[in-house]
Structure 1
Amino acid sequence: MKNICLLGATGSIGTNALEIIKAYSNRFRLVSFSFNQNITLGRQIIDQFAPLYVAVGTDKMAVMLQKEFPHVSFGYGIKGLIEAATLSEVDLVLTGLTGSVGLEPTLAAIEARKEIALANKETLVMGGELVMAAAAKQKVRILPVDSEHSAIFQCLAGQRREDVSELLITASGGSFRDYTREQLKGVTVEAALNHPNWVMGPKITIDSATMMNKGLEVIEARWLFGLNYDKIKVVLHRQSIIHSMVIMSDGAYLAQLGASDMREPIQYALTYPERLPIKEPKKFDLAAIGTLQFEELDVVRFPLLKLAFEVGEIGGTMPTALNGANEIAVAAFLEGRISYLEIEYYVQQAVADYQVQAVESLEQLLAEDQRVRQYVNEKIKEGARR
């Protein structure tokens, strides 16, 4: 029996993970979880899985639920996330949170020597240097959950790292992959959220459209697999059948492929190194698919992908600035305060004006994150006043 902490239980990763935990209730127990605002689904999860601890978005919600579920302990905010992740009963923490909020509880879980199943790419984008050093010191295994990184992880099984030449990350192209720059000027939030291949949360869906998500994945891959940025490539693959590839020094391409079903990488992280059947698997027939297509990505069309490579090369606190600026710009677009193409503008401006520092501490990264967010918010307000 493996005791699981699930951070972000009501999101896309979380709901898929709950299906797996339910399907293999003889193998997994949900001992703690978090959710932010979806109290209706949160109540259902408590009723169904009887956890020991639940972290919620606000103190008011924690007090309300404590009265309803007196045998469960509740916390809220970042402190609640950390308490959920470091509970003594927890064996593995699955971080399905969206955004920078994932860094602190993941790092705390590593320090508490919990195994990590990582679906929160911002953890390594912001704090890769600190997180990987802590994992090495505590001898904690970090298992990738993003489909692209899980694919690379699976392809590397049994391979000597010195024989790896390059990593090839696939990208669907997002909601506007066939749009010209001119056509992007008037796109709506509703259109941006209509991803052709995956059902994901709003923020990651917008990131997929701008290709920032792929840029964040490149930075994450650098930390997970230890290759320099010139050894990490991105290719457009519309079908999302091949989830990523590893190119070996002798020219062999190793690919992991399958249906667009996030249960597969999540379950592999939970069961590694075992494999268990997916309950009620999605239909997958290569003969019916017929053809797999690949195209070169246009970095002029997707400037944020190019920017992510540049920021990753600079290193230090620069990726923290990139991530914070992007989170604020995407939120502003989703709220209707800026246009779609202005996401790129504000992120590029924030990076251009940022003074990079060497990474020293978690407190420093959190402070820099807040400073950049304030900068972008002010720039957006200035734009609105013009």
Structure 2
Amino acid sequence: MRAPSDRVQRLTVLGATGSVGKSALDIVGRNPDRFEVVALVANSSVEDLAQAAIAVGAQVAVVAREELGPDLAAALSGSGIATGAGTQAVMEAVDRPCDMVVGAIVGAAGLKPTMASLKPGRSLALANKECLVCAGSLFMERAREVGTTLLPVDSEHSAIFQVFEQGNADQIEKIILTASGGPFRQTPLADLTSVTPEQALKHPNWDMGSRITIDSATMMNKGFEVIEAFHLFPLTVDQLDVLVHPQSIIHGMVQYRDGSLLAQLGAPDMRTPIAHCLAWPERMAVPVERLDLSKIAQLTFEAPDMERFPALRLATEALQEGPIATASLNAADEIAVAAFLQRKIGFLDIAAAVENVVERMLSRQAGATIGSLEDVLGIDAQARSLCAEWVSRR
């Protein structure tokens, strides 16, 4: 559990220059008496990392790309902030004593450091999807083994976490993750063939990184969230549901067997779920927009269109197939999204590429099992290679 509010909480942020990391540090900066920043880790954004480290008085700043180490050292020269670069430096930063880690490194690159952050007595504010999508069983087993408290950062999982009565889990019928439907919810299907990266990056409600924004447009992100929810909450696959809710006001709901439907509402601002993690089990003041339901006036809902969003179907099928399928799903999607952003393939090709790779990986790996993080990374590498081949043929 989190330290009482009269005790300073020692914090490490992995992915400090991404959207989640920046939001977390915004909250930290507004509450300097509440937090002590132990370490900040980023991939390559040296200038942003240095500025953030100085702003919050971090003890150490680390850049994952080793060749950028001299640049980071120069940027923080005279600040008194220690620096490091490279994989080993990242792992050393994770090992530094702290009370909470914000795990917000994007992509499979976050698997090892986030897994390593699972230590006794810590809390982990988890924003890296790959930990649960690619290695959910391994990750959850390790968290239980060492006693790390997992706190979900995703707005949907945070919402479910807040209204999920752990003591009454056997009385829950289902949980409902909401989805905005992205920018193409009402676009004619024929027009999706000519969607550009610029159009796909214009999310109607959220300001996020490029990959997650494209994944929201295809609804692959919602598929990933279904997989994450399966590992986070003690439910079966058929107890997980998705509902399109364009206003992004209700973030998640839990349906109980007595007919009660509990929902968490909030403005679409990631600082709310992040603050819920940082302050848990308390609440802290956050300068986000307060909901005025009289002005909103109307909330609408609709079932997801599986023809329009085949990626959601693919994710659900992968969850049913098991960890080889879900790890392949994520790897292929990461390569396909990058190819789309580079204009090498079309918008609809993203789901087509992923489906092709998952099918081939299941055929290749028939009868295989995943028993370690190295196994996961091996599946990830193979799936990436297959997807790159598929893209090159297009």
How big is the shift at 1:113?
5.2
Q: What is the letter of the counterpart of residue 331 of structure 1?
A: A
Q: What is the letter of the counterpart of residue 101 of structure 1?
A: A
- Worse-matched range after superposition: 199-208 or 52-61: 52-61
In the alignment, is residue 376 of structure 1 matched against residue 387 of structure 2?
yes
How big is the shift at 1:159?
4.8
* Aligned residue number for residue 72 of structure 1: 81
SS at match of 2:92: helix
* Aligned residue number for residue 311 of structure 1: 318
* Aligned residue number for residue 284 of structure 1: 291
SS at match of 1:182: helix
Select which of 299, 303, 317 maps to 1:296: 303
How big is the shift at 1:298?
1.1
- Worse-matched range after superposition: 355-364 or 18-27: 355-364
How big is the shift at 1:248?
0.5
Select which of 175, 178, 185 maps to 1:167: 175
How big is the shift at 1:122?
1.4
Q: Is the 8 A contact 2:133 2:228 kept in 1?
A: yes
* Aligned residue number for residue 149 of structure 1: 157
Matches within 5 A, 1:162-241: 162-241=170-249
Q: Distance in 2 between matches of 1:5 and 1:167?
A: 31
Q: What is the letter of the counterpart of residue 376 of structure 1?
A: C
Q: Is the 8 A contact 1:2 1:27 kept in 2?
A: yes
Q: Is the 8 A contact 1:66 1:72 kept in 2?
A: no
* Aligned residue number for residue 50 of structure 2: 43
* Aligned residue number for residue 91 of structure 1: 99
Deviations 1:207-254 (Å, cap 9, x if unpaired)? 000000000000000000021111000000000000010000111100
Q: What is the letter of the counterpart of residue 366 of structure 1?
A: L
How big is the shift at 1:64?
2.4
Residues 68, 209 of structure 1: alpha-carbon distance in 2 compared, 3 angstrom cutoff? closer
Q: Is the 8 A contact 1:86 1:112 kept in 2?
A: no
Q: Is the 8 A contact 1:13 1:96 kept in 2?
A: yes
In the alignment, is residue 14 of structure 1 matched against residue 16 of structure 2?
no
Q: Is the 8 A contact 1:174 1:195 kept in 2?
A: yes
Q: Distance in 2 between matches of 1:281 and 1:214?
A: 24
Q: What is the letter of the counterpart of residue 280 of structure 2?
A: Y
Q: Is the 8 A contact 1:180 1:301 kept in 2?
A: no
Matches within 5 A, 1:234-383: 234-278=242-286, 280-355=287-362, 356=365, 357-383=368-394
Q: Is the 8 A contact 2:357 2:387 kept in 1?
A: yes
How big is the shift at 1:77?
4.0
- Worse-matched range after superposition: 323-332 or 158-167: 158-167
TM-score by length of 1: 0.95
Structure 1 gaps of 5+ residues are: none
Deviations 1:296-354 (Å, cap 9, x if unpaired)? 11112111101111100111321101000000000111111111111111101001111
Q: Distance in 2 between matches of 1:13 and 1:368?
A: 27
Q: Distance in 2 between matches of 1:267 and 1:141?
A: 16
How big is the shift at 1:80?
3.3
Q: What is the letter of the counterpart of residue 368 of structure 1?
A: I
Residues 236, 77 of structure 1: alpha-carbon distance in 2 compared, 3 angstrom cutoff? farther
- Worse-matched range after superposition: 36-45 or 181-190: 36-45
How big is the shift at 1:358?
1.8
Q: What is the letter of the counterpart of residue 90 of structure 2?
A: L
Structure 2 gaps of 5+ residues are: 1-7
How big is the shift at 1:9?
1.2
Q: Distance in 2 between matches of 1:377 and 1:344?
A: 14
Equivalenced residue count is 381
Q: Distance in 2 between matches of 1:77 and 1:343?
A: 31
Residues 113, 77 of structure 1: alpha-carbon distance in 2 compared, 3 angstrom cutoff? farther
- Worse-matched range after superposition: 217-226 or 6-15: 6-15
Q: Distance in 2 between matches of 1:103 and 1:59?
A: 18
Q: What is the letter of the counterpart of residue 13 of structure 1?
A: V
Q: Distance in 1 between matches of 2:89 and 2:354?
A: 30
Q: Distance in 2 between matches of 1:301 and 1:338?
A: 18
How big is the shift at 1:12?
1.1
Q: Distance in 2 between matches of 1:247 and 1:80?
A: 45
Q: Is the 8 A contact 2:324 2:361 kept in 1?
A: no
Q: Is the 8 A contact 1:118 1:144 kept in 2?
A: yes
Q: What is the letter of the counterpart of residue 335 of structure 2?
A: I
